[in-house]
């Protein structure tokens, strides 16, 4: 790797990493923030509202991709992701300054929501710019390897957010952290943002974009050319339903939902949960580069779909094992071990597990042997993530022509990750909460996995049948199957949309109260995206539009 390219990748990656840190610090502190910015009379509702606010940042990411993607395709990559970095940093810093719900009432969650929306808009413009910028500086035969460094930043941002929280907790008492310490991770991000701006300021524009400007091959209206052009729109839909939807769900299930699962469903102690995640994530991070590099030799499609397939078949066994490692109902209690401290009941089990029952519920701490098993399971989840996510930037860049690349790749990426992936923790937690009240369900704690498993299954089939890999010369057209399945996608899109609205959302609208959050998600976000998007994709498939090859080359 030459020095110039090393600097480009380093500067791009550091800035993107900081943006991910800013974006994820909110989710990493969700359990704390639910007590600060929402009414505390119903802890479950407060946590779900916090997850919904967290998810709101994901929902607007596609709009950020459209807005900043247009600027990036017209003005340039460098300028655009400088603006997004400053917007993200400012919003994150401001969240750390907002007074609590107890101080200013309903204004607190409103301000948090507004800033969260700004974060989502910023991230919607950042990733596509950084990935495109690095890809356009990279040799074509090593594009997967070089862009995979950008892919590590999302996981590293999560690791750093967890690490900063753990460090802050260790330096402060529990009371101090609860009083003001939780604000520190938000406030210190401004220092990192300023440093990254200084580094990025000295970067040159993408050479391929500069060449396109000189030859006049720059889009005048990237939105119209990306989505008003049937030739390009069908590839936007293919990128979404054949790659980024499944990849986004694998990413958020394996990392963010794993954290929510351990904290809220298994009731594992927070510091131990974060330590397990940090070690597992660190161990798995090099795999992003490995699979990115392998995609240069073996092709992007096979590696990404293999990650999705492994996740599809192994999620339930892995999450079931994680639950069993913590479940005290399966452990033998040490006789006479019950003690009482500060109003809490403490029980010790023969394997070394300790359960502290507080007024807010149980908090469980598992022994070292179980902890390392848990780290191994997290590593497995990250391996699926790295396979699906490592090659995705190179895949998306190669799918679209230079003049509309920023806009075209950013939009499906942020719908797949922002809508389908980002909403996953909130939807899954709601499904588990609902299933827990149904005595007929044997393992209600696994019900949250039904959503990602169903959506990944669809993505895997579409990817296998319709996606062609530019790295693999020999391909199978399967034109008859592609057209026949078009009918399936239309029917699936319409029926899924109707099911979500009439059988899932309508009962929730009638209940009102805390159920309005999932009702809104089902009615106004998931149902329209799935029904309209899948039906349009099915129409293109049915009419033979996917009989043609990739149009970027």
**Does residue 460 register a pLDDT over 90?**
yes
163-198 as b/e: b if 16+ CB within 10 A: bbbbebbeebeeeebeeebbbbbbebbbebbeebee
The pLDDT value recorded for residue 218 is 63
Distance CA(60)–CA(258), nearest Å, equals 23
Torsion (CA) 144, 145, 151, 153 in degrees, nearest 10: -160
Helix axis angle for 230-239 and 405-414, nearest 10°, is 40
Q: What is the pLDDT of residue 208?
A: 62
- What does DSSP say about strands 344-348 and 361-365: parallel, antiparallel, or unpaired? unpaired
Q: Does position 191 have pLDDT exceeding 90, yes or no?
A: no
pLDDT at 213 over 70: no
Of 270-274, 400-404, 531-535, least confident by mean pLDDT is 400-404
Residue 550, pLDDT above cutoff 60: no
Overall average pLDDT of the 358-380 stretch = 94
For 297-341, write each residue's pLDDT tens digit: 999 999 999 999 999 999 999 999 999 999 999 999 998 888 888
Instruction: Please tell me the distance from the alpha carbon of residue 375 to that of residue 322, in angstroms, as a whole number.
Output: 10
d(CA 235, CA 414): 15
Mean residue pLDDT of the chain comes to 85
Residue 257 has pLDDT above 80, yes or no: yes
78-91: average pLDDT = 81
pLDDT score for 553: 39
């Amino acid at each position: 790797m030459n020095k110039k390219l090393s600097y480009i990748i380093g500067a791009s990656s550091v800035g993107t990493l900081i943006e991910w840190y800013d974006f994820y610090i909110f989710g990493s502190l969700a359990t704390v923030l639910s007590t600060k910015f929402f009414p505390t009379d119903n802890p479950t509702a407060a946590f779900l509202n916090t997850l919904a606010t967290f998810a709101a940042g994901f929902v607007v990411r596609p709009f950020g991709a459209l807005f900043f993607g247009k600027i990036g395709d017209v003005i340039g990559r460098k300028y655009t992701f400088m603006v997004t970095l400053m917007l993200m940093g400012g919003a994150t810093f401001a969240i750390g300054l907002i007074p609590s719900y107890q101080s200013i009432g309903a204004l607190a969650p409103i301000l948090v929501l507004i800033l969260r929306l700004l974060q989502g808009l910023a991230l919607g413009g950042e990733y596509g710019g950084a990935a495109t910028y690095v890809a356009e500086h990279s040799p074509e035969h090593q594009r997967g390897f070089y862009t995979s460094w950008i892919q590590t930043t999302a996981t590293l941002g999560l690791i750093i957010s967890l690490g900063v929280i753990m460090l802050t907790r260790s330096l402060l008492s529990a009371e101090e952290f609860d009083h003001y310490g939780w604000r520190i991770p938000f406030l210190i991000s401004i220092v990192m943002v300023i440093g990254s701006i200084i580094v990025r300021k000295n970067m040159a524009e993408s050479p391929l974009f500069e060449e396109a400007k000189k030859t006049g091959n720059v889009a005048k209206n990237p939105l119209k050319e990306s989505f008003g052009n049937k030739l390009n729109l069908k590839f936007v839909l293919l990128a979404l339903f054949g790659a980024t939807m499944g990849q986004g769900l694998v990413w958020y299930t394996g990392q963010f939902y794993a954290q929510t699962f351990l904290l809220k469903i298994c009731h594992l102690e927070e510091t131990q949960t974060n330590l397990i995640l940090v070690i597992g994530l660190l161990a798995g991070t090099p795999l992003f580069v490995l699979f990115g590099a392998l995609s240069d030799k073996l092709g992007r499609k096979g590696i990404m779909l293999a990650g999705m397939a492994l996740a599809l078949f192994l999620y339930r066994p892995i999450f079931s094992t994680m639950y069993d490692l913590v479940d005290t109902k399966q452990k033998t209690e040490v006789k006479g071990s019950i003690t009482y401290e500060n109003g809490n009941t403490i029980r010790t089990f023969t394997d070394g597990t300790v359960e502290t029952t507080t007024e807010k519920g149980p908090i469980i701490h598992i022994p070292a042997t179980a902890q390392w098993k848990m780290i191994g399971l997290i590593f497995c989840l990250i391996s699926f993530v790295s396979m699906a996510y490592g090659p995705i930037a190179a895949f998306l860049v190669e799918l679209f022509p230079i003049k509309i690349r920023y806009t075209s790749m950013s939009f499906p990426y942020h719908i797949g990750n922002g809508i389908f992936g980002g909403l996953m923790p909130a939807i899954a937690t709601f499904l588990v909460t609902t299933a827990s009240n149904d005595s007929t369900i044997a393992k209600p704690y696994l019900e949250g996995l039904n959503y990602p498993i169903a959506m990944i299954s669809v993505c895997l089939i579409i990817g296998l049948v319709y996606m062609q890999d530019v790295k693999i010369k020999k391909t199978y057209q399967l034109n008859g199957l592609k057209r026949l399945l078009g009918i399936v996608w239309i029917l699936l899109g319409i029926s899924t949309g109707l099911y979500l609205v009439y059988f899932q959302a309508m009962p929730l609208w009638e209940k009102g109260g805390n159920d309005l959050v999932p009702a809104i998600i089902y009615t106004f976000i998931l149902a329209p995206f799935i029904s309209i998007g899948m039906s349009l994709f099915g129409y293109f498939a049915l009419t033979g539009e996917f009989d043609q090859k990739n149009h970027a080359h």
